[in-house]
Amino acid sequence: MLPLIALFIAAFAFGTTEFVIAGVLPQVAGGLGVSIPTAGYLVSGYACGIAVGGPLLALATKTISRKTLLIGLAIAFTIGQAACALAPDFTSMLLLRIAVAVAHGAYFGVAMVVAVGLVPEDKRGMAVAVILSGLTVSNVIGVPAGTAIGNLWGWRATFWVMGALGVAAIAAMLALLPRTAGSSNSPASLSHEVRVLGRQQVWTSLILMLMLMIGQFGLFTYITPTLLEVTGLDESLVPWVLLLNGVGATIGVFLGGKLADWKLMPSLITMLFLQALMLGVIYAVSPYPVPMVVAIVIWGGLNFAIGAPIQTRILAWTADASNLASSLIPSGFNVGIALAASLGAAMLNAGYGYRSLPVAGALAMLVAVAVAVASQVWEGRSRVAPPLPAAAE
């Protein structure tokens, strides 16, 4: 359990710096002299760094000790936060965020494989949930705290605190992560790594990731201005709403882990459909503070409950060649984030308004339902079992 805690702490640090930008987006935009929709590209740029750079870095470092690599990535994160705090303009801030994001993408790919290798097969869903909970707890603690710090002392102070989180992550992994972590599997050849991506359970799950992120980040990227302008909340209440969203997400991620270890695909399909309904509810209640806050909490829970079975499914179906596929987990999520943030910016610039964002998300979730049902039927007809892990030599 202690190694999982170390991986959790680093995931919390990475998750906080990724998500906190939504809480301080208006301040960052003002401080760097750009519009809020333009500042939204700090979200999509970060996501692109994860999506493209993460898999490439994971492949380039597959022969390095997993513990050494994970600590090195945490060091890169820490230096990156200090640099972001000192960024003089929007362009430099964007480039620095992308650089940190490359380390982020490689970290989560490696950490997921290490985590599932530390537990029995029937606990893989919960191991994934522990790593994912680093992201959800970042919403419970990191994002609201970072938002409050930004409101009190400016957004640059938020990034200095992120740097301190990086130091804590480095210390935790040095102390708690075994030197042999992740050494039980032998590296597969690049051709085999690529071939496993052709398994339908893998590429359909990546499609589900894209749709899930459009359903989540099309709205979450602009959650602060939505709550201020559509719902009419006072700015001081926004961190508390983000806190409640994170509480819902934390409950959801462990529920999703349990469901992944129980009945993965039926649970996943049901939750995808419920999320489509939930986004429709958010559209309907967005002008009303109390119903809107309740809806955001449930929506946050479903977002992360859905993520655990998707990731567990990919790890199960790529166990014989997990390096590239595992790095495509954060990549797939963040391609979706980039699309969502960019789609949101385009919709806002076209004059549709913040209230239109959950409508686009609901449509994406209905696409996900159709893909998941088709994938389950296909798998049932093929009757092929998931592969066994490749043994270390």
pLDDT band, residue 306 (cuts 50/70/90): very high
Cβ contacts of residue 184 below 8 Å, gap of 6+? 117, 389, 392
> Among the listed ranges 72-86, 116-130, 366-380, which one has the minimum average pLDDT value?
116-130
Does the pLDDT of residue 53 top 60, yes or no?
Answer: yes
Residues 315-341 have pLDDT tens digits of 888 877 777 878 888 887 777 877 888
Evaluate whether 321 touches 196 at the Cβ level (below 8 Å).
yes
Q: Look at residue 82 in the predicted model and tell me its pLDDT.
A: 94
Evaluate whether 318 touches 326 at the Cβ level (below 8 Å).
yes
Does the pLDDT of residue 353 top 60, yes or no?
Answer: yes
Look at 300 and 186; give whichever has higher pLDDT.
300
Does the pLDDT of residue 270 top 90, yes or no?
Answer: yes
pLDDT band, residue 83 (cuts 50/70/90): very high
In the beta sheet, which residues pair with residue 365?
none
pLDDT band, residue 393 (cuts 50/70/90): very low
Cβ contacts of residue 105 below 8 Å, gap of 6+? 49, 50, 51, 53, 54, 55, 57, 58, 327, 330, 331, 334
Evaluate whether 151 touches 27 at the Cβ level (below 8 Å).
yes
Output the CA torsion sign for 334, 339, 342, 343: negative
| DSSP per position, 31-77 | HHT--HHHHTHHHHHHHHIIIIIHHHHHHHTTTS-HHHHHHHHHHHH
| DSSP per position, 369-383 | HHHHHHHHHHHHHH-
Task: Pinpoint the alpha helices (H) of 87-154.
Answer: 90-117, 124-137, 143-153
Residue type, 48: C
Q: Look at residue 139 in the predicted model and tell me its pLDDT.
A: 73
Q: Look at residue 389 in the predicted model and tell me its pLDDT.
A: 66
Q: How far is CA 382 from CA 18, 22, 101, 385, in A?
A: 39, 43, 38, 9
Residue 231 DSSP class: S
Look at 15 and 122; give whichever has higher pLDDT.
15
83-104 exposure pattern, b = at least 16 Cβ within 10 A, e = fewer: bbbebeebeebbebbbbbbbbb
Does the pLDDT of residue 367 top 90, yes or no?
Answer: yes
**Per-residue tokens: 345:** 């910016």
pLDDT band, residue 392 (cuts 50/70/90): very low
Does the pLDDT of residue 183 top 70, yes or no?
Answer: no
Does the pLDDT of residue 391 top 80, yes or no?
Answer: no
Q: Look at residue 390 in the predicted model and tell me its pLDDT.
A: 60
Most confident of 67-71, 185-189, 238-242, 268-272: 268-272
Cα-only R_g, the chain: 20
Count of other CB atoms within 10 angstroms of residue 189: 9
pLDDT band, residue 286 (cuts 50/70/90): very high
User: Side-chain half-sphere of 284: how many Cα atoms within 13 Å?
Assistant: 10
Q: How far apart are CA 269 and CA 376, in angstroms?
A: 9
Residues 104-132 have pLDDT tens digits of 988 988 888 888 877 887 788 888 889 88
**Per-residue tokens: 169:** 């992550």
Q: How far apart are CA 194 and CA 133, in angstroms?
A: 29
Residues 197-246 have pLDDT tens digits of 888 888 899 899 889 988 988 898 888 899 999 999 888 888 888 888 88
Report the candidate in 372, 366, 354 with the shortest Cα–Cα distance to residue 37.
354
Return the C-alpha torsion angle 1, 116, 132, 3, nearest 10: 30
Overall residue count recorded for the chain in this entry? 393
**Per-residue tokens: 80:** 């990156």
Q: How far apart are CA 46 and CA 31, in angstroms?
A: 19
Average pLDDT over residues 87-92: 91
Q: Look at residue 58 in the predicted model and tell me its pLDDT.
A: 82
